[in-house]
Structure 1
């Protein structure tokens, strides 16, 4: 049994029920859509976001029918953004499988993403879950703004540490924050409790994304560093720190490699080695743990509870995972 399977044990039945409701929420009268959504569901991820919804609800008062709808809403909108992201990034792979745009082309992928967004809104409006929809809608808006901010900065490669944090807060942390806020709201929690869980989720999301960015300077299955972010001209925390500690000439040289030679595997390796030898990874790990501790600080404000323990374990999983 994996570590994640152990963590999810207390809510296993709820997650199974959620899966059924999530599939049902994607139903369509168009055979092509049903084929594509079936393909998406079969290749689902680790269920980390629904887990945050359910455990947050448990901590805030208990899982309800609204919690299941909230988890489905988050997952529908998250899935829609992934489908759209693959189109934007011209990516043909998602979690080791072909992406929707790789199999059905961009036009269909964009429409599928739109369909999932509409399904999420319909689910909430149909059940008058206006508060939940408001929380998730705000997150999706932030995710779009974060993506555009990153694209804007990638053109000039003028991103600094504070801008980096703003980008990942919007792009990644906002969604995990919404999971925790939705969970609390679905359990009938007070506005103060909902805000505490939102802050908790935001800190987890920050740590989660820094961990993801660290993977780019690790190794893949054949032992070679990945460098995918560098190839896409994404300036992440390890590189930002390494550049801040380098001479003006070295900084200019590395930025030139990222800007003009990002398709050259040997040059990408050069950037990776520069980061690894300049303390970039150690600094990013330190910042990741800072956000993790901030998340634990919020949880420490609650009395002992099975859900609190599970959330602590889930936070540790996000920073200790291998991929």
Structure 2
């Protein structure tokens, strides 16, 4: 399997420079904020979203100064959403580190998320990059709607596949779609190319989320079923499909386990086993690969691109082949 370092090759130097731009964009004169943002930088993730920005810019023409601003904008928005998510989910850990809300409490975490969001918006305004700001703002709107739609549907625990796709398209895929559109826009691409790459990113984002959902039906480090989504009463594609092919009594039984026994590890394992027996994992994998292929088909319609196009293809493969 490809590593992210191998995928980064054509844009490695750009990412190194981006890190400096990103750090500078988070600076504050308030000591507490500065301390927290330095802590956030230590938790640096895989940088997949900035990679989508840079590769999309390269495919569309050339990486420009505006591309660096766009990459910083999406990473600030993404980081802000993670900080807020941890508050909503009452999570104490993020990437092996204590979450901001665990160390500094919810009030501070919410304000830090707001600060990061405003920094991203100001970065675009100061550089008169209104197209990038529009694309990012549309993603934030979609992400918020997706989260609220998921919360609303979680109360019923009986959602259709179409609703699931609507949730993940808004909640997860919209940000990756905006990364690709922002990259194209920063390179001066025409509207047709920008829209093609936006749709490409949306397909990738859906495949990415299905992969995440599949992880939840695996085993943790000590060999126990993970089942975090089940514990949080989240209806994901493997479970939705398995429920759609069984009779009403079995469906009611499984929904009851998720609704009322989601803290019982044995009951969670029972739900996971039900999903596996009824083809939920195989079906979700098929759908993930279908969206991956649709992304490749869109990319094939964009001429040239050279090593940047190859980098995007590898990055898409990584999203569906990664081990965590």
Equivalent residue runs for 1:242-321 within 5 Å: 242-304=242-304, 305-321=306-322
Q: Which residue of 2 aligns with 1:218?
A: 218
The whole-number CA distance in structure 2 between the counterparts of 1:36 and 1:288 is 37
TM-score, scaled relative to structure 2: 0.98
The whole-number CA distance in structure 1 between the counterparts of 2:303 and 2:182 is 20
2:52, 2:180 within 8 Å by CA — same for their partners in 1? yes
CA RMSD of aligned residues (A): 0.9
- Secondary structure of 2:155's counterpart equals helix
The whole-number CA distance in structure 1 between the counterparts of 2:267 and 2:208 is 28
- Secondary structure of 1:73's counterpart equals helix
Deviation, 1:246, is 1.1
Aligned length in residues: 323
Equivalent residue runs for 1:74-153 within 5 Å: 74-153=74-153
After superposition, give the CA deviation of every residue in 1:198-218 in whole Å (9 maximum; x if it has no partner): 000000000000000000001
2:60, 2:189 within 8 Å by CA — same for their partners in 1? yes
After superposition, give the CA deviation of every residue in 1:9-51 in whole Å (9 maximum; x if it has no partner): 1111100110000000000001110111111111011010000
The whole-number CA distance in structure 1 between the counterparts of 2:131 and 2:302 is 23
Equivalent residue runs for 1:43-62 within 5 Å: 43-62=43-62
Structure 2: where are the runs of 5+ without partners? Answer: none
Runs of 4+ in 1 over 6 A off after TM superposition: none
- Secondary structure of 1:235's counterpart equals coil
After superposition, give the CA deviation of every residue in 1:88-128 in whole Å (9 maximum; x if it has no partner): 01111111111110111000000000000110111010000
Query: More relative contact order in 1 or in 2 (CA 8 Å, sep 6+)?
Result: 2
Q: Which residue of 2 aligns with 1:207?
A: 207
- Secondary structure of 1:225's counterpart equals coil
The whole-number CA distance in structure 2 between the counterparts of 1:97 and 1:43 is 7
Deviation, 1:2, is 6.4
The whole-number CA distance in structure 2 between the counterparts of 1:210 and 1:278 is 17
In the alignment, does 2:17 pair up with 1:17? yes
Q: Classify 1:2/1:32 alpha carbon distance in 2 versus 1 (closer, same or farther; 3 Å).
A: farther
In the alignment, does 2:59 pair up with 1:36? no
Q: Classify 1:2/1:315 alpha carbon distance in 2 versus 1 (closer, same or farther; 3 Å).
A: closer
Q: Which residue of 2 aligns with 1:164?
A: 164
The whole-number CA distance in structure 2 between the counterparts of 1:189 and 1:19 is 25
Pick which of 96-105 and 64-73 moved more: 96-105
The whole-number CA distance in structure 2 between the counterparts of 1:262 and 1:114 is 33
The whole-number CA distance in structure 2 between the counterparts of 1:225 and 1:318 is 22
The whole-number CA distance in structure 2 between the counterparts of 1:62 and 1:259 is 51
TM-score, scaled relative to structure 1: 0.99
The whole-number CA distance in structure 1 between the counterparts of 2:234 and 2:50 is 28
